[in-house]
Amino acid sequence: MVIEIALHRTALVRVELSRPLRLAVADELLCDGVSVMDYGCGHGSDVRLLRDRGLDCVGWDSTHAPDGARRASEVVNLGYVVNVIEDPSERREALARAWALAQRLLIISARLRAETPDVTAPYADGHVTRLGTFQKFYEQQELRTWIDQTLEVSSVPAAPGVFCVFRDPGERAAFVASRFRRVSVAPRLRVGEQLFIERKALLKPLAEFISDRGRLPAFEELPEYGAIQSALGSVPRAYRVLQSVSDKGAWDRVRGERTQDLLVFVALSRFDGRPKFSELPLVLQRDVKAFFGTYTAACAAADEQLFSLGRPERLEEACRTSPIGKVMPRALYVHVDAVTELPILLRLYEGCARGYLGAVAGANIVKLANDEPKVCYLSYPEFDRDPHPALAASVAVNLQTFRVRQRHYANDHNPPILHRKETFVSPDHPSRSKYERLTRLEEAKGLCENPALIGARSGWETALSARGLALKGHRLVQAR
């Protein structure tokens, strides 16, 4: 039987940017002055929305915009195109043509098997949907392997089903390294020393650079470098002035944090073929020299940590003794904002999953299993507002089989909920004291005596009702 594929029905009309392009904007890959070409633009929603942002964007589509411009651009988007082409050779050709047009970056996205909707029948190497369209659903690793082998490149997972391919190895390395850098705040400076007061305008940018990189700048890295030398004799002397008006230990902690961030990047880059030292951007080369002396020493230190990850007893101990996160018998749960504060072994564990999946949209809690090699990203959309937020979705990856599993709880009448929110976040989280206060009250009222009962919404509501209590924001009140 011949099946007629309705190719024209695959294009969607959007009122916001597609997920791959939203990610690119968030990662600052799309910004002012960047030229963009949307290869397979459908009805042109992304083209219009990018133009509204002031970007130079054109689009082409074989069905809806055959007269559109297929021009070389800094960034080319091949968004959800390859999965609707039923002929494998045409699929490869579309990928190759899009890559040929990408001067700096190619963004490729396709639908994953974990999000397979209802289908009517298998067809070729995919399925025919109820709308009569063709869809090829991929596993995450299958899609990456196909991209890498077709283009002879090493792509970078940006999110489940979304990959980036960079022309410049240095830009690729900088992008990957940025994903493992924590946000640091410059140590608090005491305005007391006269020399600091007189040179504050020069010392402030130096403080910001050191807090960002964890080391002293090179001459060309700081516009004020020459002025600092003239005013204070040298940049190291200026740094000593900063230390004199602040806690020296704070600067040591910043350096330690940046050293660990770099170590995580070097360790995880082993899985994708570790770049040569000369392929690293200059700023990372300087970081390596400042923190490790040589790239060889950095790689050796990174590999030592990475090999420890293969010892289950070390992983179980790291989860059990972690100073950050909620420790459970079979897993450690931690807020995504606190992942960079975990011990390095756990950062590598989570980094392996993120390096495979990319960033999981909407996820704000990470579950690190200690009884199997599995990391799960959990989405609690109301985490900040709701004192006991409900689980909306989860994405889990087994780091042994590399199978991805997604679950949705939005329509579940009795979803799992969170308790003791303060345990998931870092000690300096702005709302931690509020969460702690609520937990103390709930414990005092006996609400937490039966964890198995209150783990889902209905059981929790039953416990509240039995004691005549209710919640108003993060306050426990008498029920009316």
Q: Count helices and strands (H / E) in the chain.
A: 17, 17
pLDDT in the model for residue 244? 82
The DSSP letter of residue 85 is: -
Averaged over 283-305, what is the pLDDT? 97
Q: Which residues contact 422 (CB under 8 A, 6 or more apart)?
A: 429, 432, 435, 436, 439
Averaged over 227-246, what is the pLDDT? 88
> Over 80: is that where the pLDDT of 130 sits?
no
Q: Which residues contact 351 (CB under 8 A, 6 or more apart)?
A: 180, 264, 267, 268
46 to 57, 135, 274: CA distances (angstroms): 9, 21, 34
Bigger pLDDT: 439 or 240?
439
φ/ψ bin of 72: left (φ > 0), alpha (ψ from -120 to 50), beta (otherwise): beta
Report d(CA 290, CA 221) in Å as an integer: 14
Q: Residue length, the chain?
A: 480
> Over 80: is that where the pLDDT of 55 sits?
yes
Closest CA to 296 of 268, 264, 256, 266: 266
- Token pair, residue 429, equals 């989280």
**Quick check: 92 and 150 in contact, CB under 8 A?**
yes
pLDDT in the model for residue 479? 85
> Over 80: is that where the pLDDT of 168 sits?
yes
Report d(CA 471, CA 480) in Å as an integer: 11
* CB atoms inside a 10 Å sphere around CB 202: 19
Helix (H) or strand (E) holding 366: strand 365-369
Averaged over 45-68, what is the pLDDT? 93
> Over 80: is that where the pLDDT of 8 sits?
no
Global confidence as pTM: 0.87
Closest CA to 261 of 300, 306, 213, 221: 213
408 pLDDT band, cuts 50/70/90, is very high
pLDDT in the model for residue 124? 73
The end-to-end CA distance of the chain, in Å, is 66
pLDDT tens digits, one per residue of 303-326: 999 998 888 899 999 999 999 999
Report d(CA 348, CA 345) in Å as an integer: 5
Report d(CA 385, CA 418) in Å as an integer: 12
Averaged over 405-412, what is the pLDDT? 90
> Over 60: is that where the pLDDT of 361 sits?
yes
> Over 90: is that where the pLDDT of 245 sits?
no
SS3 for 27?
coil
> Over 70: is that where the pLDDT of 173 sits?
yes
pLDDT in the model for residue 437? 96
> Over 70: is that where the pLDDT of 120 sits?
no
2 pLDDT band, cuts 50/70/90, is very low
